[in-house]
Structure 1
Amino acid sequence: MPKNVPHYPRPPISLIESDIPNWGVDIYIGGSTGAADVQLLREHNITTVLNCAVNLDIDYVDLQDEQRTDIHRNFGWGPIRYYKIGLIDGPGNPESMVLAGYHLMRSSLIQDVPDKPSYKVRQKGNILVHCRGGRSRSVTIVALFLHLEWPEKFPTLDSAIAHIRDKRQLHPDEWFETPKPMLVELAHRAVKMETLLRQAGFNKDALNQDL
């Protein structure tokens, strides 16, 4: 494996795909600076943000809860719907967590937000998936999503990764770690897990109706 390979510049966020079939949203990938730029999110009609990194937190709170006092960290409401799956950028993750990232991304798009005062962001918009650099963990989850949700265009996981590398402007010298090989392997195993679930008759869309 190459050593001391420089990290090449890339945009704060990158459009990966537009108007995803069955979802009608655009998918973006970004790093921490892009995810933390609320004005940039608004410009791209991003209302949902999925953070893939266990070692990165972003404070979106712009309207504090009335219960907050000086002894508390900020909590309240932000300008986007914020979800998190805590992946390590390297070894240490179970494949079930990568599969959970796919289901969390998918579920965030399905979720029907109630019309209640405590739910400040109800409008449907585009989604940003990010990690610290927007080059490994986020790429893994979005590639898994594209392959499983749009197999006609992305018949393999590797084809989805190649597409993201191009759209995210990841330099070929970085490809050995964009994404990290162990995350790619976990994603392949997650595909097999999801395939087995579907073969067993698990219908994720009908499940709640049957309970």
Structure 2
Amino acid sequence: MITNIIERGKVKCEQYWPQNLTTESSYDDITVYYVSYEEWADYVVRVFEVTKNGEKRRVRQYHYTAWPDHGVPDTMSPFIAFYKKIKTETYRIDRPLLVHCSTGVGRTGIFIAMSNLLDQAHFHQHIDFYKCVTLMKECRPHIIQTEEEYIFLHHAVNEVLRTSIDFCTPIELDRQLESLTPPDNTEYLSMNGEVVEEYEVISYVELCELLVQSVTKTDKEL
């Protein structure tokens, strides 16, 4: 879950779990019990027990709470930590994750694309941002809505690949810090420019496909 219940005074998502650990909530023939609650700086992990017609299931919810009202996060570290938390705890589960925000695009698209691309890197030692996002847009238009989101996706994936070590000793940390070089702003700006051009191509292709669908629909009506 990558949205808050209320943002900028507007309800973005209905709360589908109990208000606190001592209560339960019912939705028609579905009852939700609170099992546990774990709060971090930028996200919350909740565990529910869901009952329907006597059948019980455990549901673990990862709720990111630090996404800004507009745009994308200023820093990637909290979102990457959220992503790694989920992947670490679910990699043995042979079932798909359900990802949602408020509209099902934008934030949701970034998380799904990020997961897909990092799996590509792990299993194939190769990633293709353009192909990944284009295929996702064929299934759900506007899944990545803006250039800003597309750039954030690039930098987030790059950051995860560059920082593969999560924990290290003080000595290892000193060695890693010594090996770091100051960021090259020129290279950063150049990368952003290339990413923007790539996203413009994706947006153009998506627009053309929507126009073709519109014309086809009109022809059928005639």
TM-score by length of 1: 0.49
The structure with the greater share of residues assigned to helix is: 2
Structure with higher RCO (Cα < 8 A, 6+ apart):
1
Give me the TM-score of the superposition, normalised by structure 2.
0.47
Q: Who wins on radius of gyration, i.e. which is larger?
A: 2
